[in-house]
Amino acid sequence: MTETAPEVNAAPAASPAAESFLHPERMMNRFDIRPGMIVADFGTGSGHFALAAARRVGERGKVYAIDIQKNVLSLIKSKAALEHLLQVEPIWADLELPQGSRLHEGSVDFVIISNILFQVTSKPAVLAEARRILKKGGTMAVLEWDATPFPAGPPQNLRMPKADVRRLAETLGFHTAGEFDAGSHHYGLLFTRP
């Protein structure tokens, strides 16, 4: 995985438009993120999902905001400090490497993978890392661009179809737990680790 992602003509990551695009707070309801949970946000970007999860897990929980871009992690750290979200821990990591997150095996309740599969070379490695760190019975949410033409999204040839994500996750030992509405240009899938 390179330190810079393919160029996408989207709203700047820190803008209100970017935050509302996938509605992080609404997604937390769909994900059933609760107080005390441990959450990992893979490819956290501007941290909208990580910060929304941190508000839900509270002081007894933990949110790992993981990204390969160091500059975004500094911004997340600042945003979390402004909101007194001490449970957010930014981690600089390459999720395509074995044990890339550096988190302990079976230590996380929930993994969020949002809009990163189109950017990575080794999609199996990213999903395998999610499975490795999830507790038994833990959940992984995948939100990715669907095939709907939209100029702000990545090129069609980089998007990973929903059926391919499901097939890959099941090959890696996940059970499909369902789908959820992720907006007009994305799909959402939930998987559990048996």
Q: What is 16-192's CATH superfamily?
A: Vaccinia Virus protein VP39 (3.40.50.150)
pTM, to two decimals: 0.87
Q: Which residue has the higher pLDDT, 19 or 37?
A: 37
Q: What band does 21 get if pLDDT is binned at 50, 70 and 90?
A: low
- Domain locations in the chain as residue ranges: 16-192
Among 11-15, 69-73, 115-119, the minimum mean pLDDT is found in 11-15
User: In sequence order, what are the residues at sequence separation of 6 or more whose Cβ sits closer than 8 angstroms to the Cβ of residue 71?
Assistant: none
Bigger pLDDT: 23 or 131?
Answer: 131
pLDDT at res. 25:
86
CA angle at 27 for the pair 26 and 32, rounded to the nearest 5° = 105
Alpha-carbon distances of 39 from 28, 78, 111, rounded to whole Å:
11, 19, 6
Please give the share of the chain, as a percent, with pLDDT higher than 90. 73
Looking at the chain, how many residues does it have?
194
Q: What is the mean pLDDT of residues 84-95?
A: 98
Asked whether 42 and 69 are in contact (CB, 8 A), the reply is no
pLDDT score recorded for residue 23 = 81
pLDDT of 7 above 60: no
Residues 32-51 have pLDDT tens digits of: 999 999 999 999 999 999 99
Q: Where does the pLDDT of residue 148 fall: very low under 50, low under 70, confident under 90, or very high at 90 and above?
A: confident
The identity of residue 113, as a single letter, is I
